Amino acid sequence: MRQMAGTLNRTWLTILGILGLAAGIALLLQSAGALQSIANTAPAGEKVVSGDLQPFFAQSWVVVLLLVMGAIIGVLGLLWVIAQIPRKNPADAYRLDADGAQGRTICDPSVLATAIENQINTLPGVVGSSAMLRGTAHEPDLTLKVTVNDRADVQELLRHLETSTLPDLSTALEAPLHRRRLQIDISGRTQGTGTVVPSTGTVLK
C-alpha cells in the first residue's frame, strides 16, 4: 500500500472552499445591493475606481509584484500536483534505545516488516501479504495488506492480527502502534505454502 496525499488535499480544498464561499457571498450581496452598505462601495452603476488603470499596472514594481505572485501560485500548484503521486515513504532505521549513554540499538524496519509478512503468510487462507513501517520507533505506523483466498476465515484472521501479530510488533518495538492501516483483498489463488512432490514408483494391488 502506498501513502496518499489525503490530508494535504483536504487542507487545500478547505482553503479553496472558504475562498470560493467568500467570493460567492460577496457576489450575492453585490447583486442584491447590500454590499454597498456593508463595505461602503460605490453606488450601483458607478465605477469603483475612476480613471485609467493602465498607468498604474505599467509601473515596474506592480509588474514585479504580479510576476512574483504568479510564480508563487504556480510553484504551489506544482507542489500540489507532485504530492498526488503515491509514494511508499518507508521509515528510516529505528533507534530503540532510550538513553544513548547506555549504548545504541538500531533496527531496520524492513526486517520487522519481513517478520510480520512471514508470520501472516503461514495463516490458513492467506496467499500473500505486504507490510510497510513508517514513523519512528516511539510512534510507529504500520500499513498492512493481506491477500486471502475465498476459503479464508476473515474474522479469524482479524482475531489473530489483533491478539498475536500486532502485539508481537509492539513488544519488539517496546511501543504501541501509533497508527495502523489494514487492507484485505480476496484472490482466486490457492495458498502458496509447502512444496508439491510428485510420487513415483509401482502401484501395488
What CATH number is attached to the domain comprising 127?
3.30.300.30
Whether the pTM exceeds 0.85: the reply is no
**Res 106 pLDDT > 80:** no
Nine-digit cell string for 65: 509584484
22-26, 50-54, 123-127, 158-162, range with the lowest pLDDT:
50-54
Residue 68 inside a domain? The answer is yes
Does 192 reside within a domain?
no
If asked whether residues 64 and 138 sit together in one domain, one would say no
- Is the domain of 70 the same as that of 141? no
Q: Which pLDDT score, from 0 to 100, does residue 100 have?
A: 54
| CB-based contacts of 4, cutoff 8 Å, min separation 6 | 84, 86
Residues 192-203, mean pLDDT to the nearest whole number: 41
Same domain, 115 and 165: yes
Q: By mean pLDDT, which of 36-45, 59-68, 115-124, 174-183 is the weakest? A: 36-45
> Which has more confidence, 71 or 26?
71
> How far separated are the first and last CA of the chain, in Å rounded?
54
Q: Are residues 11 and 78 in the same domain?
A: yes
For residues 202 and 115, the model is more confident at 115
Q: Do the strands 179-187 and 140-149 form a parallel or antiparallel pair, or are they unpaired? A: parallel
Same domain membership, residue 181 and residue 98 = yes
Domain count for the chain: 2
Position 28 in a domain: yes
Range of the domain at 69: 6-83
Task: Check whether 115 has a pLDDT greater than 70.
Answer: yes
Q: Are residues 69 and 102 in the same domain?
A: no
Instruction: Give domain status of residue 117, yes or no.
Output: yes
78 and 135 both lie in a single domain: no
Q: Look at residue 145 in the predicted model and tell me its pLDDT.
A: 92
Residues 129 and 162 in one domain: yes
pLDDT single digits (tens) 60-86: 887 788 788 878 877 877 777 777 776
* 123 contact partners, CB below 8 Å, separation of at least 6: 157, 160
Give the list of residues 6+ apart from residue 156 with CB closer than 8 angstroms, or none. 124
Are 110 and 157 found together in one domain?
yes
Boundary-marking domain end, from 48, 83, 118: 83
Task: Check residue 90 and give its pLDDT.
Answer: 64
Residues 74 and 98 in one domain: no
From the list 169, 164, 165, 97, the residue with the least C-alpha distance to 134 is: 169
Residue at 30 is within a domain: yes
